[in-house]
A and B are shown apart, each in its own frame.
Chain A
Amino acid sequence: MTLFARVMGVLALWIGATAPALAHGPTPQKAEEKITIAAPPAKVWAALKEFADVSWNPGITKTEATGGNDSGASRSITLKNGKVLVEGLDEYSADTMSYGYRLSTENLEALPVSFYSATIAVTPSGDGSEVTWIGRFYRGDTSNFPPENLNDEAAVKAMTEFLQEGLKGLKAKVEGSG
């Protein structure tokens, strides 16, 4: 190998290693999960409404937050795998019992997605409530040749499971509290 080729090789590695943080891909993916809860919407919203309090979600073991329920508030959530994600609150509406937030600091070891925004909302449904949680996100590796653990399918699976587990936890908490 010539010196030139070696230098170019090192340069290529260096460029790869300094790829920008929170880059996202050109083609987003979606997940949508719903659950019905046998409790009035106000009671479900009461369990959900603090952006800083995610104790209803068994997928999250620890939360640190600042900014309350104001747009721009931030929370660090520790997932069951011990890894941390930081999320920022965009829009909060007690009237419509919903809030929308986005990922501020990605962590592919926590969740194999490079960016997401999500909205959770409570609506009346029959005698009880329905909670809808939707997410828009990008695969972990946004290049055109992602490894299997960081491709679109892996991102959709991880996000879908995360939403499902959270909603089940919310249902158990609200229905279990009488």
Chain B
Amino acid sequence: MRFLCLRGSAVAAMLVTWLAFASASLGAEKLYVLSQTGAKLTEIDLATHQLGASVALEKAPAALTFSRDSKLAYVTHPDLGKISVVSLGGQRVLRTISVPGSPFGIAVAGNGRIYVADWNGADVAVLEPSDNGATQPRIVKVGRAPAHVLLTPDETTLFVANRESDSVSVIRASDLEVVATIAVGRAPFAMALSPDAKRLYVGNVQGGSVSVIDTAALAVVETIKSGAMPYGAAVTPDGARVLVTNQQSSTVAVLEAGGAPRPGVRVGGYPEGIVIDASGHFAYVANWFSDDVSVLDLASLKEIRRIKCPGGPRSVVIARDP
């Protein structure tokens, strides 16, 4: 597979070393899991795998993102037309913001600007930090039924997976223009970016595939078969592997260069969100049906632990203590 460019190179070794150093010198990593039916945001200690503090939320939270400084969590409630803003230090909901439609995928820029997709519509609402929900957000037209959104680390570009238009919209953050609409497989839902931001991986739920987008050319360069209903994706810190949750088969597919397709790693029921720690040693998977989080050891590609959590976990995010 061509998407792998760093593997085995000296650059990769340097990057891994740097990441290991960086993770040691920063605050401790914590895992947060968002549970839809349980309506809770729960902290999990990565060293002990014990559940920590839990914040009760309004009904049916769906998607989760964090502020750049990891002090705030932003949670969407598509059925309520609301966003909850949660203080992680204070472990409480600071405020809720009403937005039009059914807010689903969400991204937040360093200055506090919020991008949120309207699942039952065809647009992304952009809320400026000064608004606090008081004024009407700006609306950017995208494809039908936008699911997740992804803001690049340099915050110049927002990618939007349009579930019913089988496309990804590319929005330029500076002027909120849609600069490209890229056709992908059937029903794109979740996305993940390579560490160098050169490749965007898009999971196509109905297509059972991952579209690989060159983020400079804004074009699909490869389509990889993943398995039944890919609902989540994450890239290892060295860029060498893409992990995809196959919801219908309750497995995590490991896509990597050169090697023959591996059998998926079995996890809990109907896995959705997936995240990989900064060291690249472990992946964490939210199992929506079985109400737990799978811990995968990425050296052996085995599930080593299941952590029971509040019902219907959908999203997992790793944050550092500020």
Contacts and interface: CB of A to CB of B under 8 A. Distances in A.
A144 B248 contact: no
Interface string B233-276: 00000000000000111000000000000000000011000000
A91 B249 contact: yes
Interface string A1-44: 00000000000000000001001011110101000000000000
A117 B229 contact: yes
Residue in A23, A27, A32 with the greatest tally of chain B CB atoms within 10 Å: A27
Contact of B288 (A28, A91, A144): A28
A100 interface: yes
Contacts of A32: 289
Given A26-B62, A27-B36, A91-B228, A142 B120 contact: yes
Contacts of B280: none
Contacts of B164: 20, 23
Which 7 pairs between the two chains have the least Cβ-Cβ distance? Answer: A26-B78, A26-B119, A90-B228, A27-B60, A90-B248, A26-B104, A100-B248
Main secondary structure of the interface of B (DSSP, over half): loop
Contact of A136 (B80, B81, B228, B289): B289
B62 A90 contact: no
Given A27-B36, A27-B62, A144 B102 contact: yes
Contacts of A30: 270, 288-289, 312
Contacts of A136: 247, 270, 288-289
A117 B228 CA distance: 11
Interface residues of A, number: 19
A65 interface: no
Interface residues of B, number: 24
Contacts of A102: 229, 248
A32 B269 CA distance: 11
B79 A90 contact: no
A143 interface: yes
A30 B78 CA distance: 18
A27 B229 contact: no
Interface in A94-120: 100, 102, 117, 119
Contacts of A73: none
B71 interface: no
A27 B249 CA distance: 20
Contacts of A47: none
Given A20-B144, A143-B120, A27 B228 contact: no
Given A100-B228, A136-B270, A26 B249 contact: no
24 contacts: A20-B145, A23-B164, A25-B78, A25-B79, A25-B119, A26-B78, A26-B79, A26-B102, A26-B104, A26-B120, A27-B78, A27-B79, A30-B289, A91-B248, A91-B249, A102-B248, A117-B247, A134-B269, A136-B288, A142-B120, A143-B120, A144-B80, A144-B102, A144-B120
